[in-house]
């Protein structure tokens, strides 16, 4: 089975490392399925070391350390949905009770260091803050996540008497069981702007998450001339490609999508067209990256197998040899793929509970 080119993160059964002395421990969350891609992005960041990965059941989790100069570079990650400064960690095997775990996760000196790091990153004071606790666990046989949330809230209130509970709150403390028996807590230093990367001027049903678009663009390789999204929709991939350094171009068969993409990706070339009959010369672009319509949000104007075969044949034609084609789709049957495309990457992900796959091909 072809696998992802992304660097392999630390094994899920491995004992997590702690990184260099003096570095700040961070927790990063990603769309389910993108842990390896996020880990590779963080590893490529100077001053950052990835120490472990996992999943809390709703998000992929990547643990890393960053030296002082690298902290803000982690916050600039294109693939992370949220970033936290670690407060503490523990193992169920050392005490599988909510009260014991809460006490292990929030110790005064570690909490002080985490709050100091949070203040450096956010500029927000914490002396008289509001706070809330969010808890995610992989199993509730020993205790309910609501009990862990209550116990940690009580521990924090005893140690921070000037704080009060609220929702929404100034400070969010997240507790996640990222591997069976491994529990970690952190202070959130990102906000919803990180997930939406500033948002879109005009929303469109079925629009792609910016972090998924960034992961797909990253899979296309180093920027090298033109990148085409032939089903550009709201323009999310175009924005991600332009930010990465590509000369991004968009096409869509829906005039309304063209209008929206032009508004969301001002200054980029967006025009109407049909992915099955692209008005481009052979080898005109170095990469094609697209979230294909598969009859869920938007219908195609042909039976799906024939439409898919025609679309992939055109993408292979307009992509130069040595280039890349990266697609998001639930499935791409092998008999729909032209011989000039070689499958190299298959990354299953979950978006709002729906399964999909990122498919990466080399243009031969």
Using left for φ > 0, alpha for ψ between -120 and 50, and beta otherwise, residue 165 falls in beta
Band (pLDDT 50/70/90 cuts) for residue 280 is very high
The answer to whether residue 6 scores a pLDDT higher than 60 is no
132 contact partners, CB below 8 Å, separation of at least 6: 153, 165, 166, 167, 168, 169, 171, 172, 173
Band (pLDDT 50/70/90 cuts) for residue 192 is confident
Band (pLDDT 50/70/90 cuts) for residue 4 is very low
The answer to whether residue 138 scores a pLDDT higher than 50 is yes
Token pair recorded at residue 198: 């500033």
The answer to whether residue 203 scores a pLDDT higher than 90 is no
SS3 303: coil
The CA distance from 181 to 194, in Å, is 29
Nearest to 49 by CA among 11, 79, 81, 16: 16
DSSP character for 335? G
SS3 216: helix
The CA distance from 36 to 30, in Å, is 10
The CA distance from 62 to 16, in Å, is 11
Sorted by where each starts, the structural domains of the chain and their CATH numbers stand as 24-194 (3.30.2130.30), 197-363 (3.40.50.150)
The answer to whether residue 297 scores a pLDDT higher than 60 is no
Q: Judge residue 39's burial from the number of C-beta atoms within 10 Å of its C-beta, 0-12 exposed, 13-18 middle, 19 or more buried.
A: buried
Is pTM beyond 0.85? Reply is yes
Residue 12's pLDDT is what?
45
With residues binned 3-state (H G I as helix, E B as strand, rest as coil), the percentages for the chain, rounded to 5, are 30, 30, 40
Number of H helices, E strands in the chain: 10, 15
Band (pLDDT 50/70/90 cuts) for residue 305 is confident
Residue 22's pLDDT is what?
76
The answer to whether residue 97 scores a pLDDT higher than 80 is yes
The CA distance from 336 to 355, in Å, is 20
Residue 196's pLDDT is what?
67
Mean pLDDT of all residues in 296-315 = 80
Residue 352's pLDDT is what?
80
The pLDDT > 70 percentage for the chain reads 89
């Amino acid at each position: 089975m072809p696998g992802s080119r992304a660097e392999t993160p630390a094994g899920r059964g491995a004992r997590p490392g702690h990184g260099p002395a003096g570095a700040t421990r961070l927790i990063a969350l990603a769309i389910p399925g993108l842990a390896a891609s996020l880990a590779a992005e963080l590893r490529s960041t100077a001053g950052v070391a990835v120490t472990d990965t996992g999943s809390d059941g709703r998000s992929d989790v990547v643990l890393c350390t960053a030296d002082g100069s690298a902290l803000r570079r982690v916050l600039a990650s294109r693939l992370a949905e949220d970033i936290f400064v670690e407060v503490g960690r523990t193992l169920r095997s050392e005490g599988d009770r909510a009260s014991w775990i809460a006490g292990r996760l929030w110790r005064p000196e570690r909490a002080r260091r985490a709050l100091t790091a949070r203040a450096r990153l956010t500029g927000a004071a914490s002396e008289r803050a509001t706070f809330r606790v969010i808890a995610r666990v992989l199993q509730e046989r020993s205790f309910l996540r609501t009990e862990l949330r209550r116990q940690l809230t009580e521990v924090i209130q005893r140690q921070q008497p000037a704080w009060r509970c609220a929702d929404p709150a100034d400070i969010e403390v997240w507790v996640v069981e990222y591997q069976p028996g491994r529990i970690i807590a952190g202070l959130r230093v990102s906000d919803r702007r990180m997930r939406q990367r500033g948002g879109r001027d005009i929303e469109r049903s079925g629009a792609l998450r910016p972090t998924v678009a960034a992961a797909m663009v990253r899979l296309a390789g180093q920027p090298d001339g033109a990148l085409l999204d032939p089903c550009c929709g709201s323009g999310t991939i175009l924005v991600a490609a332009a930010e990465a350094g590509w000369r991004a171009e968009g096409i869509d068969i829906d005039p309304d999508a063209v209008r929206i993409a032009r508004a969301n990706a001002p200054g980029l070339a967006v025009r109407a067209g049909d992915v099955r009959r692209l008005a481009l010369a052979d080898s005109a672009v170095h990469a094609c990256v697209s979230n294909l319509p598969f009859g869920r949000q938007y219908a195609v104007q042909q039976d799906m197998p024939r439409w898919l075969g025609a679309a992939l044949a055109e993408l292979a034609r307009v992509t130069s040899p040595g280039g890349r084609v990266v697609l998001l789709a639930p499935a791409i049957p092998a008999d729909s793929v032209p011989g000039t495309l070689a499958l190299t990457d298959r990354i299953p992900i979950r978006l709002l509970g729906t399964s999909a796959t990122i498919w990466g091909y080399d243009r031969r």
